[in-house]
Chain A
């Protein structure tokens, strides 16, 4: 009896979590007139909104921009954070606890205060109207989190294997590439998932550095579909579904690793 209640609650919770996304999918297939009519009336499904996304709203470009940004951010975050996580957790650095407090501070800070200074940095480097501003903004968001996850992950790795390799005459860097790096792979995978997902959906820096340009990422493009004069409801829902698909796939395949990452994160 008690077991049954457990499963009943599970089913209700899963429905509660998924129904907004299911409703978004239903709307994305509804013709404009049906969207504005009574919500539960039957309708002829249409793919018009998805077609409009790629035509009128330039979504192909947005997907391309978002992918480029996410990949560049990944390519910087993963090596930098893994090296730092290993260095900070394994070596006797004086004042390391203060370095960790600084990183924690970077993670907690209100990110909006970085907008003006990052704008100045990008301008000084002559990189206005490139993805550099968005990438720097994303790094400021991802890097502290990634370093802290890698640091606490490295702390939990067995020290003996490295010490044995070291005694066998491996140099510190050989030990890192041949022994430690493979051990870190699960941690790196977790950081990679969070970094990609975060960059894919990030909005503050993307809208600040690429609002009126051809560099618009997906979230910026989506935000433009609710204007004061007209809301493109069908396209809004369709773009929401489109942007959720990679996240849904990642969550279904890797939710166990990600749960672990969330726990490592504090």
Chain B
């Protein structure tokens, strides 16, 4: 009797929970589950809206031609390079700065917090505009400086080897604050008594960093880095669009930009959908990676 009532109360709770989450889940199914299915379906057709609205079933032909296309590997390499290089720079500089800034307090902390939040919260388009204003061959401020100080100019945006680095530098300006803020929060949460004990034992600052701070922060390192790298890989678009639009040549062609161009500039829908399927598979691997790291470190 008692048990039966408890069970029905449990079911009622379960129903309330599902009811509360239902609008969100319905929206997510519309926004994600259906689109993923749509990409799979379309990937088996040839459809170029410039030519006609007729679609022809071609089996795996789209897959075969993408796997043989150097554009595909180029975009994958560029996107991976962008994600790894910018996150590595942001991580290292962010860690050093967080360690150096950990004693800041009060109003100064407020000034720092605001100054860090501004670039991080700006639009990716503003990030691109800043990149143009600083690095453009016509009016770029950086070249004006290097020219007057050292007498050299760099082809920041126009050189195939430098263009991606330029985007990485601009992104480091914008996203470095993420690591500084996360690391600062982690350092502040280190138990004070452990720090005092090490001080009493006469440990140097470097020893404290090596034996207390770094081990304590490992989970934060792992989770924050993986999350930022995934974000950098999957979301890079606006900054490239404004600074180089994938060029010069294909030097900064990244996966989101390639899919955008195929879908909405070239109207190669079958091909764009197949790229979408590959991007979906990559996303799945990234999710698995994130869950693995999170389980391992928390």
Q: How far is A156 from B49 in the complex, measured between Cα atoms in Å?
A: 51
Asked if A113 and B133 sit within 8 Å, CB to CB, the answer is no
Given contacts A13-B115, A219-B238, contact A114 B185 (CB under 8 A): no
Q: Which residues of A contact B181 (CB under 8 A)?
A: 259, 262
Asked if A201 and B23 sit within 8 Å, CB to CB, the answer is no
- Per the 8 Å Cβ criterion, residues 117-163 of B in contact with A are 117-119, 121-126, 128-130, 132-134, 136, 138-139, 141, 144
Given contacts A106-B28, A201-B125, A240-B130, contact A87 B16 (CB under 8 A): yes
- Per the 8 Å Cβ criterion, residues 75-124 of B in contact with A are 97, 100-101, 103-104, 108, 110-119, 121-124
Q: How far is A76 from B132 in the complex, measured between Cα atoms in Å?
A: 35
Asked if B237 and A112 sit within 8 Å, CB to CB, the answer is yes
Residue of B nearest to A151 (CB): B21
Given contacts A101-B287, A116-B263, contact A243 B123 (CB under 8 A): yes
Asked if A94 and B14 sit within 8 Å, CB to CB, the answer is yes
Kindly provide the distance from the CB of B192 to the nearest chain A CB, expressed in whole angstroms. 17
Whether B187 is near chain A, meaning CB under 8 Å from some CB there, is: no
Kindly provide the distance from the CB of A218 to the nearest chain B CB, expressed in whole angstroms. 8
Size of interface on A: residues with Cβ below 8 Å to B: 98
8 pairs from A and B in contact (CB 8 Å cutoff): A21-B130, A80-B27, A84-B23, A94-B14, A116-B38, A117-B39, A144-B28, A201-B124
Q: Using an 8 Å CB-CB cutoff, how does the interface string of B248-291 with A read, 1 for contact, 0 for none? A: 00000001110110011000010011011001101110110011
Q: Which residue in A14, A114, A266 is a CB contact (below 8 Å) of B111?
A: A14
- Per the 8 Å Cβ criterion, residues 148-196 of A in contact with B are 172
Main secondary structure of the interface of B (DSSP, over half): helix
Whether A55 is near chain B, meaning CB under 8 Å from some CB there, is: no
Q: How far is A23 from B136 in the complex, measured between Cα atoms in Å?
A: 14
Whether A1 is near chain B, meaning CB under 8 Å from some CB there, is: no
Asked if A116 and B272 sit within 8 Å, CB to CB, the answer is yes
- Per the 8 Å Cβ criterion, residues 134-149 of A in contact with B are 136, 139-140, 143-144, 147
Q: How far is A209 from B38 in the complex, measured between Cα atoms in Å?
A: 18
Q: How far is A56 from B200 in the complex, measured between Cα atoms in Å?
A: 68
Q: How far is A118 from B14 in the complex, measured between Cα atoms in Å?
A: 32
Asked if A113 and B132 sit within 8 Å, CB to CB, the answer is no
Q: How far is A91 from B132 in the complex, measured between Cα atoms in Å?
A: 50
Q: Using an 8 Å CB-CB cutoff, how does the interface string of A218-245 with B read, 1 for contact, 0 for none? A: 0100110010000101001101100110
Given contacts A108-B286, A197-B121, A223-B241, contact A114 B113 (CB under 8 A): no
Kindly provide the distance from the CB of B140 to the nearest chain A CB, expressed in whole angstroms. 9
Asked if A112 and B259 sit within 8 Å, CB to CB, the answer is yes
Main secondary structure of the interface of A (DSSP, over half): helix
Asked if B237 and A9 sit within 8 Å, CB to CB, the answer is no
Q: Which residue in B27, B100, B269 is a CB contact (below 8 Å) of A9?
A: B100
Choose the segment among B29-37, B59-67, B210-218 that binds chain A (4+ C-beta atoms closer than 8 Å): B29-37
Given contacts A204-B260, A236-B133, contact A83 B234 (CB under 8 A): no
Q: Which residue in B32, B259, B276 is a CB contact (below 8 Å) of A140?
A: B32
Q: Which residues of B contact A112 (CB under 8 A)?
A: 237, 255-257, 259-260, 263, 276, 279
Whether B55 is near chain A, meaning CB under 8 Å from some CB there, is: no
Kindly provide the distance from the CB of B160 to the nearest chain A CB, expressed in whole angstroms. 19
Asked if B126 and A243 sit within 8 Å, CB to CB, the answer is yes
Q: Which residues of A contact B30 (CB under 8 A)?
A: 121
Asked if A13 and B21 sit within 8 Å, CB to CB, the answer is no
Residue of A nearest to B35 (CB): A117
Q: Which residue in B35, B115, B272, B283 is a CB contact (below 8 Å) of A18?
A: B115
Asked if A108 and B283 sit within 8 Å, CB to CB, the answer is yes
Known: A109-B234, A204-B256. 19 other contacts (CB 8 A): A5-B100, A6-B103, A20-B134, A21-B118, A24-B130, A83-B21, A83-B24, A91-B20, A112-B259, A117-B35, A118-B31, A143-B27, A203-B123, A226-B242, A231-B132, A244-B122, A247-B118, A255-B116, A259-B181
Residue of B nearest to A36 (CB): B139
Asked if A104 and B130 sit within 8 Å, CB to CB, the answer is no
Kindly provide the distance from the CB of A115 to the nearest chain B CB, expressed in whole angstroms. 5
Asked if B108 and A7 sit within 8 Å, CB to CB, the answer is yes
Kindly provide the distance from the CB of B40 to the nearest chain A CB, expressed in whole angstroms. 10
Whether A111 is near chain B, meaning CB under 8 Å from some CB there, is: yes
Q: Which residues of A contact B227 (CB under 8 A)?
A: 266
Q: How far is A204 from B117 in the complex, measured between Cα atoms in Å?
A: 22
Q: How far is A244 from B14 in the complex, measured between Cα atoms in Å?
A: 45
Q: Which residues of B contact A262 (CB under 8 A)?
A: 178, 181-182
Residue of B nearest to A81 (CB): B24
Q: Which residues of A contact B283 (CB under 8 A)?
A: 105, 108-110
Kindly provide the distance from the CB of A224 to the nearest chain B CB, expressed in whole angstroms. 10
- Per the 8 Å Cβ criterion, residues 115-132 of A in contact with B are 115-121
